[in-house]
Structure 1
Amino acid sequence: MVLRARIVLLAAAGAGNSEIAGRLSICEDTARKWRRRYWGQRPGRALRRSATRAAPRVPHCGGGPG
């Protein structure tokens, strides 16, 4: 959990995935994954996202009518 927190804090400070990976000695994919997971859950996310990006997907709960 400490690693995840460090990734998010560095990202919030403006660090990119490659910088985060280098500073924390982790794979760039790991930095990318935790940034996506964290910022995907927050309604006010603004971490290097373009204005033209599509709205986040809402997970389908299954079931359906009936």
Structure 2
Amino acid sequence: MSRCLAKSDPNVPSYQDSLGQEYARIAHLRQLSHNAVTDLMPAALFKQTDGYVEKEKIFE
């Protein structure tokens, strides 16, 4: 009689739990990289609007 380790051991995460943690880690890394890029840009040249960055019209 063989048993699945994930079912018998509560310390082993299920496949869905592992996948969810991986997606959360990727989303966190994407947010960190987005923050790093926007921090490096000159504030006078760029403004952030709804998740993307657009150039402001400085010279009119």
Task: Tell whether the structures are fold-level matches, with TM greater than 0.5.
Answer: no
TM-score by length of 1: 0.27
Compare relative contact order (CA 8 Å, sep 6+) and give the higher one, 1 or 2: 1
Structure with the higher strand share, 1 or 2: 2
TM-score by length of 2: 0.29
Larger Rg: 2
